[in-house]
A and B are shown apart, each in its own frame.
Chain A
Amino acid sequence: MGQPVKRIDARSKVTGRARYVADVKIQGMLYGKMLFSPHAHAHIKGIDTSKAEGLPGVWAVITAQHIPGENQIGVVTPDQPLLAQETVRFVGDCVALVAAESASVAEKALGLIRVDYQTLPGVYTAQEALGENSPLVHQGGNLLTHLKIRKGDLKKGIGECDILLEETFHTQRQEHVYIETIGALAIPEGDGSMTILGSIQCPFYVQKGVAHVLGLPMNKVRIVQATTGGGFGGKEDVPSEICGFASLLAWKTHRPVQMILTREEDLRRSSKRHPMSVTYKMGATKGGKILCAQIEVLADVGAYATLSPVVMFRSTVHATGPYEIPHVKVDTYGAYTNNIPSGAMRGFGTPEVTFAHESMVDELAAKLNMDPIQIRLINGLRLGSQTATGQVLRESVGLEETIVKAKEACDWESKRAEDKRIGPSRRRGLGASAMFYGVSLGAKGWPLDGSAAAVQVHQDGSVSVAIGGTEMGQGAQTVVAQMAAECMGLSLDRIAILATDTSLVPDSGPTVASRTTVFSGNATLNALEQIKRSMTELASELLAVAPEKLDFRDGQVLGGGKKISFDQLVQHCYSRNINLGAEGWFVSPPCSFDEETGQGDAYYVYGYGTQIAEVEVDLDTGQVQVLRVTAAHDVGKAINPQGVSCQIEGGVVQGVGYALLENFMMVKGQIQTPDLATYTIPTSLDVPQVEPIIVEAISEKGPYGAKGLGEQPIIPTAAAVANAIHDATGIRITKLPIGPEALRRALLEERKEL
């Protein structure tokens, strides 16, 4: 542990032996397809499915009226019918489902369904949505959430500032582009229960959602996670919809139904990162101490709430960035529109505000003629600091170390001083950006923030661990196996981690919010400690050594000059009927958030990071190439440093895409980027050299001191790139992505002497 190890799932994935849900074909299986609405907002006047039903090979056509349970799938707010009944609210709403003997027959059947729509006026931006007399997306009004923070005395703060800046920033919709699209296989069992195998991030959400829709008790719905090719938040709640579709068809036909989304279907249905407009007013003294921040965030939630209330909570808590600011006023608003729902995506509301606050901090530094690193060190959170929510940080604050280490590793001082010109039309620049990120669900998600693990030590001394957190490519299974091996003093190959299965482990909440290492890890340790206690007791008796002197190490249990091999001890336990199975449980330390003032201990601990990007700008075309990103992240104890580095690299790459390329565009509710030819992500040639630096500010609550990491690395990248572009050209871009056309235009408009 603490050493880089090869991932335990690497071989099966590299050799193509890992089984994804699309690889599973079972006897009598049908194929499911869904019919999308062509309209962003319309009334459904009637649906005629008779022709489709008559098509040979079609087994079922389902519309909302056939749903046996409740037609409701909203995970946080009950605002989302699984199948549209009277109204469609975006172009990914589905009005009918088909199960047929092949995908192509199902596809053909979709073409035979006649839906009579009456189009309705829609709203397509958050601004529009909150305007007077705007069409309503839902009856209760278009404002879904408003959260606030009130700290200190803003007026007083503004009065004391020597400099006050104001700017509005805009961020775009981003798609996850996990390598495997969402898919499900629903199998109706003989006893009336339903088993679902799927590409999913949060099996317990799916279990609840499917039970609800089918009108079954939860003990009749079993969810098994298939090998899952990436999630990034995109498989948090949306798989409940797809698994819901497949299980409805399976329930109707009494046959297994597989539903694998094509990339185009997936892009059209799955939620995206929130587009946001963010206005900052930030003021500081001449010496660079930031005294006040007034922040207003307006987010386009899309047609349904999905996870927006929780995403906006993160935007709120993290709006000021990782800085101690005495006077703060934050208001975040999320408004319904007739666009694709915005939901969970890596960073969960934080990259958006980070782009803004890190641009602001750089602007303050520029105006004060101060080094951007210096201003971050002056204001950065440290032990004993108070966050915007009034939380006093008592442990594990590695921000300063990440700033200093990133700065040193990239040779900041000499590079910033270098000539920016590297040719008649090329300029280089260096930009920094810092972040913090609350680990796990925090005050708004606390009731979901418990996690379980079920562990068994088998007769031969091998160990199985079933965890409630899923493996979706992030390396969760490997770190849990490492911790289990460390705890039992066994080698890694003695530990097997089982695929997440709702019948093996109690509800462990969602696999999100960078929480799995800590939560599944602690739950596993909790179970193992119980087993160890029983084993220690017996070993003490067999060896005649006091239990507190015994240690589990190198496949042995030893102490007081005596030892017994782990496997032998296990055999003794079995021969005496000592239970070597246990269930572990871990609950988040308490968190709080006052709705009126926004004050409280929002998250139990935070991760911190600093990235420095080096870019080259082609002045003639406006194209930016990110050459290098130095990324220092405080992760608490790095259980698998190799895994941490990989997460950092991946996050930076996704962050570069967010900064420069990716933009899921909609015009009047219609998707302009329906496929991966038009929604472009970085290719291997667009990826910068990434230099990961691991900082370990140990967290008491974490297993072996670990904190979470999955999301952090994407958060600061876009701002670092924007700040580097500013360093190279003097141009401040306030809108993502920073496309070449926009930059070229800005270069010409500002007519900078370059």
Chain B
Amino acid sequence: METFRYSVPRSVEEALHLIKEEGQAAKLLAGGTDLLVQMKEGLFRPSLVVDIGSLHQLRGIRKEEGFIWIGPLTTHHDLAHSALIQRHGLALAQGASKVGSPQIRQRGTLGGNIANASPAADTLPPLVVLEAEVQVSSLTGSRWVPVESVMEGPSQTVLRPEELITAVRFPVQEKGFRSQYEKFGSRRALSIAVASVAAGAYQEKGCVKKITIALGSVSPSIVRASQAEELLTGKALEQSLIARASTSAGQACCPLDDVRGSIWYRRQLVAALLARILQSWMNDE
């Protein structure tokens, strides 16, 4: 690893100043579970590392004005164990609980997972179906960006070098909403998803009123299975519908073909995972 300067700002403001001044050559450090690996591999050679890990105001989970507010430094462990998240955004708790291993979940953060922008990130499909937004701040102010628009491709986001994620929020959904996340990896822990599916839906008397389906690890970005969403909207869940929707979701991916799995297999997986979610909802009715 190359040498670099290291600073620990005491306020968000100070952090923003530091990254503004250093520009491209600065890197934010949260849990470090992505960044340190990338620096060791020489993918990044920052001249300044800004450790935001001690900015406690960027940590925590609250219910506030119709939203669930999450600080970007909240760890996967905390997300997975939060009663608020489990109640209002189960898929996110499930996604966080499937990240890496206990050690990684203790260090890795939500903000890091979003900013790192991996197509296999386990919180991204859940955040999409929860209609989450990301607060992006710089010295000139802040803006809310829908999570779907944050990621532009593998390791690519709309974030500019002088910007910091300062919050993530999603609306507290009305009664009848549920969400679920399913991940498939080659082993039961420490496994990068071969494919993952999150779904969030309103159901009323067994009928799907509205549904969002987001697929992870099957294309350069998180993608929606729009056709499957359409197929399911307004209908009651039953076997043949589930089968059709699942197959259609498989087609929605414009998938990666790599060591972890072929295009063909990823389609199979997406169908299997979506069917698993829908089946469990049907059985609950």
Q: Which A residues have a C-beta under 8 Å from some C-beta of B?
A: 104, 620-621, 623, 661, 665, 672-673, 677-678, 680, 682-686, 739-741, 744-745
- Residue B281 CB within 8 A of the other chain: no
- Evaluate whether A677 and B192 lie within 8 angstroms (CB atoms) in the complex, with A621-B268, A744-B265 already known: yes
A620 and B188 contact, CB distance less than 8 A: no
A740 and B186 contact, CB distance less than 8 A: yes
- Give chain B residues whose Cβ lies under 8 Å from the Cβ of A678: 259
A741 and B187 contact, CB distance less than 8 A: no
- Residue B208 CB within 8 A of the other chain: no
CA distance A620 to B259 in the complex (A): 20
Within B235-278, the residues touching A (CB, 8 Å) are 259, 261-262, 264-265, 268-269, 272, 275-276
CA distance A623 to B184 in the complex (A): 9
B261 and A680 contact, CB distance less than 8 A: no
Contact partner of B275 (CB less than 8 A), chosen from A620, A673, A677, is A620
- Give chain B residues whose Cβ lies under 8 Å from the Cβ of A673: 259
A741 and B259 contact, CB distance less than 8 A: no
- Residue B1 CB within 8 A of the other chain: yes
A621 and B269 contact, CB distance less than 8 A: yes
- Give chain A residues whose Cβ lies under 8 Å from the Cβ of B189: 683-686
In angstroms, how far is the closest chain B Cβ from the Cβ of A56? Answer: 15
- Residue B155 CB within 8 A of the other chain: no
In angstroms, how far is the closest chain A Cβ from the Cβ of B188? Answer: 4
- Residue B157 CB within 8 A of the other chain: no
A683 and B187 contact, CB distance less than 8 A: yes
- Evaluate whether A672 and B188 lie within 8 angstroms (CB atoms) in the complex, with A621-B272, A741-B265, A744-B265 already known: no
- Give chain B residues whose Cβ lies under 8 Å from the Cβ of A741: 261-262, 265
B259 and A685 contact, CB distance less than 8 A: no
B269 and A680 contact, CB distance less than 8 A: no
CA distance A223 to B38 in the complex (A): 37
CA distance A620 to B242 in the complex (A): 14
- Give chain B residues whose Cβ lies under 8 Å from the Cβ of A683: 101, 187-190
- Give chain B residues whose Cβ lies under 8 Å from the Cβ of A620: 268, 272, 275-276
Q: Which B residues have a C-beta under 8 Å from some C-beta of A?
A: 1, 101, 184, 186-192, 259, 261-262, 264-265, 268-269, 272, 275-276
- Evaluate whether A665 and B192 lie within 8 angstroms (CB atoms) in the complex, with A621-B184, A682-B187 already known: no
In angstroms, how far is the closest chain A Cβ from the Cβ of B184? Answer: 6
B275 and A686 contact, CB distance less than 8 A: no
CA distance A672 to B188 in the complex (A): 22
- Give chain A residues whose Cβ lies under 8 Å from the Cβ of B259: 665, 672-673, 678
B188 nearest in chain A by CB position? A685
CA distance A682 to B189 in the complex (A): 9
In angstroms, how far is the closest chain A Cβ from the Cβ of B277? Answer: 12
A744 and B268 contact, CB distance less than 8 A: yes
- Give chain A residues whose Cβ lies under 8 Å from the Cβ of B262: 741
- Give chain A residues whose Cβ lies under 8 Å from the Cβ of B265: 740-741, 744-745
- Give chain B residues whose Cβ lies under 8 Å from the Cβ of A684: 189
CA distance A685 to B102 in the complex (A): 12
Contact partner of A739 (CB less than 8 A), chosen from B1, B184, B186, is B186
- Give chain A residues whose Cβ lies under 8 Å from the Cβ of B264: 745
A262 nearest in chain B by CB position? B40
CA distance A249 to B245 in the complex (A): 64
In angstroms, how far is the closest chain A Cβ from the Cβ of B189? Answer: 4
CA distance A680 to B192 in the complex (A): 11
In angstroms, how far is the closest chain A Cβ from the Cβ of B143? Answer: 35
In angstroms, how far is the closest chain A Cβ from the Cβ of B179? Answer: 21
CA distance A599 to B20 in the complex (A): 78
CA distance A661 to B189 in the complex (A): 13
In angstroms, how far is the closest chain A Cβ from the Cβ of B281? Answer: 15
The listed residue with most B CB atoms (<10 A of its CB), out of A104, A665, A685, is: A685
Q: A623-B184, A672-B259, A741-B262 are in contact. List 14 more A-B contacts (CB 8 A).
A: A620-B275, A621-B268, A621-B269, A661-B187, A673-B259, A683-B101, A683-B188, A683-B189, A683-B190, A685-B187, A685-B188, A686-B187, A686-B189, A740-B265
A680 and B268 contact, CB distance less than 8 A: no
- Give chain A residues whose Cβ lies under 8 Å from the Cβ of B187: 661, 680, 682-683, 685-686
CA distance A740 to B194 in the complex (A): 11
- Give chain B residues whose Cβ lies under 8 Å from the Cβ of A745: 264-265
